[in-house]
Amino acid sequence: MEDGRIRDERITASSFKFNLASYVPPRARLNFQGRAAGWVNDYRTDKSPWIQVDFVGTVTITGLITQGRGDIDQWVTEYQVTYSDDGQSWNNVIDADGTPIKFPGNKDRNTLVTTRLPFALRTRILRIHPTDWKSSCSMRFEVIGCY
């Protein structure tokens, strides 16, 4: 995502703060800089936020790298991951017992946290579901895998 190979319109979310362009999903690219450096959900109306990437075709995903919002102390501290081939039917990334995994997020705004998935995903769409955050649901991220 960081290098721009994934086009802006392929990065979408359940919401973005106040519907302002300064908080849109494409700002979630790893190491995005400037004012409002990251995607921020609209906390007023969106209590179950998510952000996703549609790769258009099937890709292999092995992990994620996350960061907090670069210009203020806001970050996701925990998240879950789902994936889909059609945007209608979703699968959770689960542990050996079939329970959706809660992955550790960030502890500050800029440190990179790399998470390896328990298995390689072959999918078209990857969705991150923040489940806990510091101050506000804000993040930047990168997808690890083969595009």
The answer to whether residue 142 is domain-embedded is yes
The answer to whether residue 84 is domain-embedded is yes
pLDDT digits (tens, 9 = 90+) for 88-110: 999 999 999 999 999 999 999 99
The answer to whether 39 and 1 are in contact (CB under 8 A) is no
Which residue type does 140 have?
R
Query: Is 79 strand, coil or helix?
Result: strand
> Which structure tokens are listed for 36?
């409002």
> Which structure tokens are listed for 51?
């952000």
The answer to whether residue 2 is domain-embedded is no
For residue 32, how many other CB atoms are within 10 A of its CB? 19
Kindly indicate the confidence band of residue 49, based on its pLDDT and cuts at 50, 70 and 90: very high
Total domains in the chain come to 1
Which domain, by its residues, includes 128?
8-146
CATH of the domain at 101: 2.60.120.260
